[in-house]
Structure 1
Amino acid sequence: MDEVEIRLTKDEALVLFEFLSRFSNEDKLSIQDQAEARALWNLTCVFEKTLAEPFSVDWNEIVERARDRLRDES
């Protein structure tokens, strides 16, 4: 499996951890603080610098195959 390494500031990691933990507990994504939105925007920028696939013409197929590989088996 290919791996991608990303770097976050400690503040980004803390804020994103809280955001994702809340989702795990409540099964609902909601921004409760502007810092959460900023951390997500920053993470998107990191992905844009790291990944070429989102800019491919066959992006929809690429992400669907990734979803298939990542899903829990039924």
Structure 2
Amino acid sequence: MAKTPSQVSRDFGRFVHALRKACQQTQKQLAERADLSADTVLRLEHGTFSPSLHTLSKLVAGLRVEFSSCLRIQPARGRVGP
């Protein structure tokens, strides 16, 4: 069964949170590095905001990861990556 948009947003938020924690960054630090507002990072992590491609490109730059890493979400196991 396909996931609903809200499920996808929540899964993506958990993924962003895990990446940020792995990079040992606070939400504020990530926001500054990504040139995003702290509120945007908060909403992304809580799954209440779906980013545009532009925002996503800023986010991956702030996390210092490859864009393709955002396409390998595995929320069922709580893991990041392949």
TM-score of the pair, normalised by structure 2: 0.29
Q: Is the radius of gyration larger for structure 1 or structure 2?
A: 1
Task: Looking at secondary structure, tell me which structure has more strand per residue.
Answer: 2
